[in-house]
Structure 1
Amino acid sequence: MASAISLLSEEQFLCSICLDVFTDPVTIPCGHNFCKSCITEHWDTNDQHQCPLCKEQYEKIPHLRVNTFISEMAAQFKQSVSRETITSTIGSSSEEQHTDPGEVLCDFCTDTKLRALKSCLDCLISYCEAHLEPHQRIPALKRHMLINPVKNLESRVCKKHNRPLEQFCRTDKICMCFFCSELEHKLHHIVSLKEEYEERKAELGKTEAEVQRMIQERELKIEQIKQSVTLSREDADRETATSVEVFTALMQSVERSLAQVIDMIDEKHKQTEELAEGLIKELEEEIFELIKRNTELEQLSCNEDHLHFLQNNLSLKAPPPTKDWTKVKVHSLYDGILKTNLAELRETLSKDTKTPCADGQLKKYRQHSVDVTLDPETAHPKLILSADGKQVHHQDTSRGMEDSPQRISSFFGVLGNEGFSSGKFYYEVQVKGKTDWILGVAEETINRTGVSHFCPQNGFWTISLKDGREYKALAEAEPIQLSLKSKPEKVGVFVDYKRGLVYFYDADNSALIFAFTGYDFTEKLYPIFNPRKNNDGKNATPLIICPVDNSD
C-alpha cells in the first residue's frame, strides 16, 4: 500500500474548493469529491445548487455521506507525507537532551530521544520541536489536530476506523470518530468533544461549588456544636455552683433543725425528771407519816390494860391527809415534736431551694424583657384589641376586616408586632380570671388559614389552659398534662433563640411551668396569643401583656 501511495501526487488528494488535503470527503451525484464542510458552505452561500467543477445543477441539496475509501486514502497520504518530510528535515537538531521519567518523548528521534512538544491526533505521533516543523509549514499538515504531548495516542483513536475520537454520543455516552457518528450512531444525539467537555466541566464546577457549600455548612455546624458544648459547660458550671449553694443551705437547715429537735427533746426530758422528782418527794413524805402512824397503832395494839388502852385510843390523833395516787401518771411530753419539726423543716427547705434557684433564674431572664404589642394585621376577625395593643379578648361577631396573607383565620389568634431571629427575649402575660387560653411563640410561616395543630412540628411552642383546670404543654406527639401546685395568674415566657429553648414560668411564684429544649430555630419567632372563645362570658376576661419588673 505504501508503494502505491508513493506513486500518487498531492494534487490527487486536494479539495478543489479549499485546495488542501481532503477532510471528511464526500462524493456528489456528478462524481466529484469535496470536503464535506467545503461543499456545504459553498451551497449555503450560493442560490444555485451546482457542482463547482462541472456546474451540474440540482433542484435540492443532495444527501451527503462521507466517502470512507477516499477518506482513508487521504489520511494515509497525510501520514506518508508527514514521515517523508520529517525524515528529510532531521539534521543537526538531534542534540542530546535529558528527559525526566514520565515525560513524553519524540517518536521520530532515532538516537537520543528529545522531549515532545506536541502530539498529532491525525498522525498519532508525538513530535519534538524540530520534527514538528513540517506541521507548521505544509498546508496539508497544518490542518492536523495538535495537542500538548500525551502518551498512549492509540487510546485517542477509533479502533474501528483509525480516526481521532473527536465526537461524543450523548445517547450511548461514548467517544467516537466522525465515521462512527455518520454510520452506527447516525440517529443519535452527537456533539463535539469540546462541547461535551465544556458542558460537563461547567456541571462539574457547579457540583464542586455545591460540595464546597456543603463542606462550609458542616464546618459551621461543627462550630455551632462546639459553641453549644462551651455554653453547656458554662451552664453546667453555673448550675453546679448553684446546686452546691442550695444543698449546702439544705444541709445547714437540716443540721439546725436537728439541733433544735435534740434541744427540745432534752428540755422535755428535763421537765419530766423535775415532775417525777416532785411526785417522788411528796410520796416519800406521805410514806414517812404513814410509817409513824403505823408504829403508834402497833404500840396501842400491844397494850392489854383496858383502861390505858381506851385512854390512849381516845387520844389518838387523826390520820395524816393523803392523796389519791391511782390517777397520777407521768405522761410522755414528746408526742408531735418530730411531726411539727418536720413540717417546719419542709417549709424552710422550700424557701431555701426556691430563693437561689428558680427565683434567681427568673430574675436573670427578666433582664431580657422586651416591649410586646399586638399586631392588628394578624388578628382573627373575632378578636378585639385594645387601643394600646396590650389586651385581646374574643367576641361572637366578626369585625369588618380586610383579608390579608398575614391575618389568622383558622383559630382565635394574634401575633406580636415584632419577630426575633436571634438573642434572648422575655415577656409576661396576665391570665387571671380566664378559663381558657393558649400562649407562647410561633414561626413566621405558620399556617394561618388552614387547620393546624399547635405543636413544634407545625411551628408552635405553646402551653394552654382548658376549662379552668387542664394545663397542657402542646408538644409534638400529643399534649403533655401539667400538674401545677398553684394556678398561675401571670405567665412569663422566655426564649433563647440560639440554644433552642422556650421556658414558661408562673411569674408570681417564680415556678417553672414547662420547658421546650433542644430545638433548631431557623425562622423569626413571634409571641402568639389565643384568648379562646369567650364561652358566653365565662372566658371574656382579656389576655393582658404586662410590664416586666426587672429592677432586682
Structure 2
Amino acid sequence: MAESLDQNLRCGVCARIYSEPVTLDCGHNFCRPCVLGLWGNLEDTVSCPQCGQQFPRRELKTNQLLATLVTSLGVLSLEPSPVVSGQRCQSHWAEPMLFCSKNLMLVCPSCLARDPDKRKSLMPPEEAYTFCQEKLENSAAFLEKRLEEYRLAESSQGARISETLELADNLQENIETQFAKMHQLLSEQEMKLRDRLTEESQGLVQALEGNLKLVSKRTASVQKLIAEIRSLTDTEDRDRLLTEIKNILQRSDLHQEPVLQLPGMSVGEFRGPLQYAAWKQMLSIVSPAPAPLTLDPETASPCLMLSKDHTMVKRRTKLRQVPESGRRFAFCAAALTTEGFASGTHYWEVDVETSAGWIVGAARETAERSEEVPLTPANGYWTVRLWNDKVHWCRDRLASAHSCADAKPQRVGVYLDYEAGQLSFYDAGDMSHLCTFFDHFAEKIYPFVFPLSGLEPAETEVLRLFHLRL
C-alpha cells in the first residue's frame, strides 16, 4: 500500500513527493517549483514536461486533493532520501534525480529544462542501476570474446614468425641451389635476389613482431579493463557504478578494431625458374627448361583452329566438324596440351602478343569441360587473364578477379612445382612475378589456353606455345 502511494504521489520532474501540487490543462500533476523551474524565463508558449502539450499562458491550478493526501499520509514517511547520496549534477551542481540512458549520466531538473528531449531516455536510479549492470555485462562478454581472439592472434603471430623464418631459410637454400651451376657468371644477380629476400623476410618479421607486441599490449589492456568491470559490477556502491560506467564503456569501444592481418612473403619471386630468368641462354644447365609443349586436338573446342604443328591456336567464326570426345571443351573455346604433369617442376611459356584477350594457366585432368563453370581453383582451373588491358587472377576459391599487373605482357610464363602445390605466373619478357597459386594437386595437371573473341576476329590474333631455340 505504501509503495503504491509512494509511486503515485511523486512528481514526474523531481521524483519526490509532491510539494505544492498543481495541475496543468492537460491533466498532469507536478510540484509548482518544478514546473516554474522548467519553464524558467520563457516568454512564449510553455509545454507540459510529461506529454509536451503546449499552452499559450502559464496557468497552474492548485490540486487541493493531492495536497491533502500528501499532508494526511505524511505519517507513512514517503519522502525519499536523496537519489544518489553525495552526488551532484556536473552541469548545475544540483541534486540529480534521474539517469539518462542515452548519455549515460545523472541529470537534474535544470538539465531537463535545458534539454526537454532527454525525458524519453530517463529512468529512476533503481531501474538505472539494473540497466547499467546489463550494459556492463554485455561489454564484459564482448571483451572476453575479444580477449580470446587476441590470445589466439598472439599465439598465431608467434607461429607466423617461426614459419616466416623457416620459409626464408628454405627460399634461401633454393636460391643457392639454383645458382650453384652458374654462380661465377651470375653472382651479381644472385646477390640482388638475396638482398631482396633478406629485406622482405626481415621486414615481414619486424612487422609481425610489432604486431605481436601490439596484440600483447591489447591483451593486457583488455584483461585490466575486464577486471575493472568485474569490480564495478560486483560492487554495491551505486554511486561509483553510475559515475564510472561511461568512461569504462568508452574504453571498451576502443577494442572494436580487429586484429591486423599482415600479408605473407612473395614466395613466387624467390621460388621459380630463377636460372632461366637470370640467364635464359644457358639452357643446358637451366632447370626446369621451357617445355616444348603442343596442343591436343582432341581437347580443342570446335570454335578453335590449330596450326599444323599444334603450337598455335586461334578463334574461328564457324564451328568445325569434329569427332565427339569426352575430353573436348564444349562450354568455352579452350584447349589443353598433349602432355600433362603429375610430379616434378615444370615451366612453359605462352606467346600472347597478338591477342587482344586471353586466358592461360593450367587445369586438372578431370576439370569440367562440357558444362559452363567458373574458371576457379575450386573447379580445377588456375589461370590468369587479360581483361581491360590488365592481367587479372582469381586469388581465392571464388570467381572474383583481382588485378596482378598493369602492363600487358607479350608472353606469359607458368611455373609448376607439383609436390609443393605451387603454380606461379610471370611476365616472360622480364620474368617479373605476376601471381602464385597454392593448392593440393592430386591428379595430372595440363597447361590450358583460352583465346577470347574480339569484336572482329583477326587472322593475327593467335596464342602460341613458345619453344626456345638457341
Into which bin does the TM-score normalised by the smaller protein fall?
0.3 to 0.5
Which of the pair has more CA radius of gyration? Answer: 1
Q: TM-score, normalised by structure 1?
A: 0.36
Between 1 and 2, higher relative CO (CA 8 Å, sep ≥ 6) is seen in: 2
